[in-house]
Structure 1
Amino acid sequence: MILVLAGTLEGRNTAALLQERGFRVAASVVSPYGARLLEKKGVHEVYTGTLDRDDLKEVLNRGCRLLVDATHPYATLASETAMEAASETGIPYLRLERPAASLPVHPLVHREDSLQSSIDKALALGPVLFSTLGSKNLPPLLAAARQAGVRVVARILPDAAMVARCQEWGLTPADMVALQGPCSKELNKALFRQYEARVILTKESGATGGVTEKVEAALELGLPVVIWQRPRLYYPLTVDSPERVLEYCLTRLREEG
């Protein structure tokens, strides 16, 4: 069995591709929505919910031959947990890391190394901040924005539980954009205009995550954009596409029998 931590589009595509090529695949996702997306691709052996290190070790000990970590580039805790569990069980670990986007060097593009420095920089640049950081990062952003007197408009997944959570954190319906990305440049421009954004706050989520379109939209509107750069982790072995994962499995796993 190959276990794919499939919290991204690349992860779902990898699980489906490996299964199509005859490998037994199990996938792990946090949300029921993620599980439904995998099932649409024909992957039915799915673990839903957060797996801590002991949970993950238990799954790996059920005849797993490879752990493919295709979690989001900013899910550092998940990757650290996966590497620890793989090391402790002696299971090979392979990181699938989506390529970074090629973003312009521009006076309006500000790159920051941490979430806090990204928040601080963005709050200093305008009175209306449009955030695409994701809901997990909203609490510290909203707390800092309230102190600074800055309005935050947040794009979040169109999930009822997520909308309710954002309301608990103090966001009103007028400040939520419930929309699953990635979005085109034109849609980003329309949203930035509609909500009268003065600064854009986002992550370097790669071309798959739509960061290029966000930056292009912001620059065409003359808006500053603050980019939280990817956290730096050391991965023992990294590939950049589902096809590379398949190549590894066809050569290494088949050789091992």
Structure 2
Amino acid sequence: MILVLSGTADGRLIVQDLINHGYNVLASATTPYGGELLTRHGAEVIIGRLSINDMVALIKNRHIKLLIDATHPYAQQVSENARQACARTQIPYLRYQREESSLPQHPLIHCTNSYEEAAQQAVRHGKVIFLTTGSKTLNIFLNTARQHGARLVVRVLPEPEVIQYCRQLGLSPADIVAMQGPFSLELNRALFKQYEAEVVVTKNSGTIGGTDTKVAAALELGLPVVIISRPRVPDNSVTSRQELLKKINNERMLHRL
């Protein structure tokens, strides 16, 4: 059986590919909504965050022969847990890493290497920050914005716990945009204008993550864009679903799955 750590559109497509090729698949999602989307593809799904020990137990109990990490490019801790769990149980680990968006050379684009650096860059470039990096590092940007008298508008998933977390941090409903992406250039442009954004913050999540349309919309409006660069890509990663399937089919691990 193959364990797929999902949570992205890529992960759902990989699960579907594997099922179509006759593999037994167990898919993991952190949220009930993510699990619901995976179930639609006909996969067996487990829901919840997995520690290293959770993964090790799951691999042993379900006789997992291969782990495919198809989590978000910025989900570093989950990927590290998965690598360690595979090392402990001596099964192969494959990382699917979607390709980055090719960014234009532009004076309004500012690349950074951490969330903290991005927050500092954002307050230098505007007093109304439109944050599109999710809720996990929201407190970093909110604290920096408050220290510099800036307004933070956040676009997050429309999950009750996420909105509750935003409210607990003191964000008003007027500064919370609860929508699921990715978004078109036109919608990004309309939202940036509606909230009078002066600077946009994003990750380089690739085309499937909507980076291209966010950047294009911001540049059309003459807005600075602060981009958080991706973590280092592991050596044993693949960047396409076709490459992933070929690797699984061609390697000696095939007869074990």
For the aligned pair, the TM-score class normalised by the smaller chain equals over 0.9
Q: Match for 1:19: what amino acid?
A: I
Is contact 2:202–2:228 with CA below 8 Å preserved after alignment? yes
- For 1:194, the equivalent position in structure 2 comes to 194
Number of residues paired by the alignment? Answer: 255
SS at match of 1:46: strand
Cα distance in structure 1, aligned partners of 2:45 and 2:255: 27
- What is the rounded CA distance, in whole Å, between the counterparts of 1:244 and 1:196 in structure 2? 42
1:244 to partner: Cα distance: 2.0
Three-state SS of the structure 1 residue aligned to 2:111 is strand
Partner SS for 2:122: helix
Aligned residue number for residue 243 of structure 1 = 242
Alignment of 1:141-156 (within 5 A): 141-156=141-156
Structure 2 Cα separation of the partners of residues 95 and 18 of structure 1:
15
Question: d(CA) in 2 for partners of 1:254 and 1:71?
Answer: 23
Contact 1:10 1:241 in 2 (8 A): no
The answer (yes or no) to whether the contact 2:65–2:256 under 8 Å persists in 1 is no
TM-superposed CA distance for 1:255, in Å, is 4.8
Shift of 1:236: 4.1
RMSD of aligned alpha carbons: 1.1
CA–CA distance in 2 between the matches of 1:31 and 1:104?
35
Instruction: Classify the secondary structure of the residue corresponding to 2:163.
Output: helix
| Counterpart-to-counterpart distance in 2, 1:154 and 1:254 | 44
Matched with 1:50 is 49
8 A Cα contact 1:93 1:236, kept in partner = no
Partner of 1:231: 231
Partners of 1:88 and 1:164 lie apart in 2 by: 37
- Structure 1 gaps of 5+ residues are none
Deviates more, 1:238-247 or 1:29-38: 238-247
8 Å contact 1:57–1:89 — kept in the other structure? yes
Matched residues in 2 for 1:248 and 1:60: separation? 21
1:112–1:228 CA contact under 8 A, matched in 2: yes
Aligned-pair CA distance for 1:19: 1.0
TM-score, scaled to structure 1 = 0.96
Aligned-partner Cα distance in 2 for 1:144–1:14: 38
Deviations 1:132-176 (CA, angstroms, capped at 9, x unpaired): 010111011111111110000000001122111110111111001
Matched residues in 2 for 1:58 and 1:130: separation? 41
Aligned partner of 2:245: which letter? L
Contact in 1 for aligned 2:157/2:180 (Cα 8 Å):
yes
SS in 1 for 2:117: helix
CA displacement, residues 190-241 of structure 1 (integer Å, 9 cap, x when unaligned): 00000000000111111110001001000000000000111125x2411112
> Who is 1:106 aligned against?
106
Aligned partner of residue 202 in structure 2, secondary structure: strand
Displacement after TM superposition at 1:46 (Å): 1.2
Gaps of 5+ in 2: none
Distance 1:175 1:91 in 2: 45
User: How far apart are residue 112 of structure 1 and its match?
Assistant: 0.5
Does the aligned pair in 2 maintain the 1:11–1:242 contact within 8 Å?
no
1:77-123 Cα shifts (integer Å, max 9, x gaps):
00111001101100000000000111101000000011111110001
